[in-house]
A and B are shown apart, each in its own frame.
Chain A
Amino acid sequence: MDIKEIIREENKVYSRTPLMVDTTLSYCPGCGHGTIHRLIMEVVEEMGIQSDTIGVAPVGCAVIAYDFMDVDFTQAAHGRAPALATGIKRLWPEKYVFTYQGDGDLAAIGTAETIHACNRGENISIFFVNNGIYGMTGGQMAPTTLDGMKSSTSPYGRNSETMGPPYKITEMVAQLPGTYYVARHSVHKPGSVRKAKKAIRQAFENQKLNKGVSLIEFVSNCNSGWKMTPNDANKWMEENMFSFYPMGDIKVEGKLVESKK
């Protein structure tokens, strides 16, 4: 069979969204960021809201997220993305505003901005990528690093006694009246990618309702920081991260899911 016979519209099962810029991603091979970027852009394309969408990039590996996602973007100071998004959304309530943040950004240095944006019920979407480590600066301990987990600043493993234990900011903000939709997903398998995309779509759709924050946490891998192959990293993530950071809805339509109360 000739290749030209295969490349036909009716045979197409997948194509890259034009909203992903045609360039090489800066992320390590095996990293989840690229997939999450793509899902967000697919949703923006499918909803037809590119001209009404403004993204806010973090400090961290995704600092140049604006190089890859073809929407207007502002690059925030470390941890301050929810404050920037607040400023944008308050003055442009009809626009779709989202932040894209890592765990060091959102759950350590930006804790106050995260909690208060959630508490005020800003009508924004927060996409929170939790890989349990500071990736860009070289694999230091994050607020989400598991107990006993090795990092470059906890080389003998996180000692929760002296370093404090990891914490679940997603469950914390779900308690606040200002959050409308809170869920945790991953993007390491085709099935999980599909679920994650549905959640992203919901987070954007919710902005039409003006009922508060939609926050989606993505538990992701950092094979470079964890010093594992991509496959091993995904396996390790499933075996270790998922028990502490369980998948699924935490709060839906402003109500805590029964098992999470």
Chain B
Amino acid sequence: MKELALMKGNEAIAEAAIRAGVDGYFGYPITPQSEVMEYLMLQKPEERTGMVVLQAESEVASINMVYGAAGTGKKVMTSSSSPGISLMQEGISYIAGAELPCLIVNVVRGGPGLGTIQPSQADYFQSVKGGGHGDYKLIVLAPASVQEMADFVDLGFELAFKYRNPTLILSDGLIGQMMEKVELPPQKERTTEFDQSWTTTGKTPDRERNIITSLNLDPDLQYEHNLKLQEKYRSMEEDVKFEKFECDDAEFLLVAYGSSARICQKVVDIARSRGKKIGLLRPITLFPFPTAELAKMARRVKTMMAVEMSAGQMVEDVRLAVNGKVPVHHFGTLGGRIHSPEDVLQAVEEKFIGGF
């Protein structure tokens, strides 16, 4: 039987974490994601599954608690919002360099600096291009509903362990705070078997000691390590995920993720009712990015427009994907404002005069 609930996106993340059999959550309060840890604490997950939840002294500490625990092969996660995620970048770089699986949730708010507590999508670059120092990538999932906030916890860990790489759920204050119906996933058991080839669970006589590190003082070794990482990032392409709405006969393509994709679905509905041949491609993984699919779409549509709550970040990846085949416009809003379907429609009309 389906288990349905009406929840905030942040609560759905927390409930899904308990149900995914997560071993540990380490966090620090920040608006608009504080409900994640509040919900966890209220639920007494130590009684439900034995999951450890700890409020750290800072985001710097919480990501490093994740780093230590992830090295032991346990399922561990943290969540925060933009300024807190900025503080975590050092730890994320280490975790990526040391090739550890973990889940990080960013419920994005407007920046730069302390910015605002309202939703934004201006952390795209930070999420998909690295964020911290060095050549590394995160697996980035972009939920567009409360249901996906719940579903992507398990998916995020599945991908994290498949590639031994951190996964980031790139949400925003809108999805984190809004309430929707959500079908809760079934309760999973916590893992009791750990891959002895790399986890720091104590050196037994039958194996060499395991060392979790991102350090190679020998540049040739670090070069080889980087090549291996790049090869791994390329191989992630097989897990690229996207969704298409009304794309079959579309002459004009909107490209949007997360909250903006929800808004663009409405835009497509309205434009279609007016006889406009418009479609939407929603990247679900922002890294790996649906580059090949966009290149394919570029042969079929006349124009594209990236819609995002930023000054224009994902649009750069869309342009790289279509490689000049069709014009790629951008429509965005900034600093915590949410665009309405009418705002986007107006931009569509302006950019596509003659295009329809």
Q: Residues of A at under 8 Å CB distance from B?
A: 50-54, 56-57, 63-64, 66, 70-77, 80, 83-88, 90-92, 95, 112-113, 116
**Contact flag A84-B58 (CB < 8 Å), given A51-B203, A72-B209, A77-B90:** no
Is the beta-carbon distance between A91 and B76 smaller than 8 angstroms? Answer: yes
Give Cα distance in the complex from A56 to B26, angstroms.
18
Is the beta-carbon distance between A74 and B200 smaller than 8 angstroms? Answer: yes
Give Cα distance in the complex from A66 to B205, angstroms.
17
CB-CB < 8 A to B201: which residues of A? 54, 72, 92, 95
Is the beta-carbon distance between A80 and B200 smaller than 8 angstroms? Answer: no
Is the beta-carbon distance between B211 and A75 smaller than 8 angstroms? Answer: yes
Partner of B64, one of A57, A84, A91: A84
| CB-CB nearest in chain A for B91 | A77
Most buried by B among A52, A90, A91, A92: A91
CB-CB < 8 A to B19: which residues of A? none
Within 8 A of A (CB), among B13-29: 23-24, 26
Known: A50-B203, A51-B202, A73-B211. 5 other contacts (CB 8 A): A72-B202, A73-B200, A76-B94, A87-B69, A113-B57
CB-CB < 8 A to A92: which residues of B? 72, 201
Is the beta-carbon distance between B200 and A54 smaller than 8 angstroms? Answer: yes
| CB-CB nearest in chain A for B65 | A87
Most buried by B among A50, A64, A72: A72
Give Cα distance in the complex from A85 to B56, angstroms.
13
Give Cα distance in the complex from A112 to B156, angstroms.
30
CB-CB < 8 A to A83: which residues of B? 56, 60-62, 64-65, 67-68
Asked if B278 is an interface residue, CB under 8 A from chain A, the answer is no
Asked if B212 is an interface residue, CB under 8 A from chain A, the answer is yes
Number of interface residues of B (CB under 8 A): 41
CB-CB < 8 A to A112: which residues of B? 57-58, 60-61
Q: Mark B176-218, 1 if CB is under 8 A from A, else 0.
A: 0000000000000000000000011111110001111111010
**Contact flag A72-B91 (CB < 8 Å), given A52-B202, A112-B58:** no
Give Cα distance in the complex from A52 to B58, angstroms.
29
Give Cα distance in the complex from A70 to B204, angstroms.
11
Give Cα distance in the complex from A71 to B23, angstroms.
23
Give Cα distance in the complex from A88 to B201, angstroms.
9
Is the beta-carbon distance between A66 and B211 smaller than 8 angstroms? Answer: yes
Is the beta-carbon distance between A90 and B24 smaller than 8 angstroms? Answer: yes
**Contact flag A77-B213 (CB < 8 Å), given A72-B200, A86-B54, A91-B24:** no
**Contact flag A74-B64 (CB < 8 Å), given A80-B91, A87-B69:** no
Partner of B68, one of A51, A87, A116: A87
Asked if B236 is an interface residue, CB under 8 A from chain A, the answer is no
Is the beta-carbon distance between A90 and B69 smaller than 8 angstroms? Answer: yes
Asked if B330 is an interface residue, CB under 8 A from chain A, the answer is no
Asked if B71 is an interface residue, CB under 8 A from chain A, the answer is yes
CB-CB < 8 A to B74: which residues of A? 91
Asked if B52 is an interface residue, CB under 8 A from chain A, the answer is yes
CB-CB < 8 A to A77: which residues of B? 64, 67, 90-91, 94
| CB-CB nearest in chain B for A56 | B68
CB-CB < 8 A to A71: which residues of B? 202-203, 209
Is the beta-carbon distance between A116 and B213 smaller than 8 angstroms? Answer: no
Asked if B66 is an interface residue, CB under 8 A from chain A, the answer is yes
Is the beta-carbon distance between A54 and B67 smaller than 8 angstroms? Answer: no
CB-CB < 8 A to B66: which residues of A? 87
| CB-CB nearest in chain B for A55 | B200
Q: Residues of B at under 8 Å CB distance from A?
A: 23-24, 26, 52, 54, 56-58, 60-62, 64-72, 74, 76, 90-91, 94, 98, 199-205, 209-215, 217
Partner of A91, one of B56, B62, B72, B209: B72
Is the beta-carbon distance between B67 and A87 smaller than 8 angstroms? Answer: yes
Is the beta-carbon distance between A84 and B202 smaller than 8 angstroms? Answer: no
Give Cα distance in the complex from A52 to B213, angstroms.
19
Give Cα distance in the complex from A63 to B52, angstroms.
29
Nearest-Cβ distance from residue B63 to partner chain A, whole angstroms: 8
CB-CB < 8 A to B56: which residues of A? 83, 86, 116
| CB-CB nearest in chain A for B215 | A75
**7 residue pairs, one from A and one from B, having the closest CB atoms:** A84-B68, A87-B65, A87-B68, A87-B69, A83-B64, A75-B213, A72-B200
Is the beta-carbon distance between A88 and B64 smaller than 8 angstroms? Answer: no
Nearest-Cβ distance from residue A104 to partner chain B, whole angstroms: 16
Nearest-Cβ distance from residue B49 to partner chain A, whole angstroms: 13
Give Cα distance in the complex from A84 to B23, angstroms.
15
Give Cα distance in the complex from A82 to B175, angstroms.
34
Most buried by A among B70, B205, B209, B215: B209
Is the beta-carbon distance between B68 and A88 smaller than 8 angstroms? Answer: yes
Give Cα distance in the complex from A76 to B62, angstroms.
13
Is the beta-carbon distance between B211 and A87 smaller than 8 angstroms? Answer: no
| CB-CB nearest in chain B for A73 | B211
A-B contact pairs, 18 of them (CB 8 A): A53-B202, A56-B68, A64-B217, A66-B213, A71-B209, A72-B202, A72-B210, A73-B200, A73-B209, A73-B211, A74-B212, A76-B94, A83-B56, A87-B67, A87-B70, A88-B69, A90-B24, A91-B52
Is the beta-carbon distance between A63 and B215 smaller than 8 angstroms? Answer: yes
Give Cα distance in the complex from A212 to B217, angstroms.
35
Nearest-Cβ distance from residue A142 to partner chain B, whole angstroms: 20
Nearest-Cβ distance from residue B76 to partner chain A, whole angstroms: 7
Give Cα distance in the complex from A139 to B74, angstroms.
39
Is the beta-carbon distance between B67 and A74 smaller than 8 angstroms? Answer: yes
**Contact flag A76-B67 (CB < 8 Å), given A70-B203, A112-B60, A112-B61:** yes
Is the beta-carbon distance between A91 and B202 smaller than 8 angstroms? Answer: no
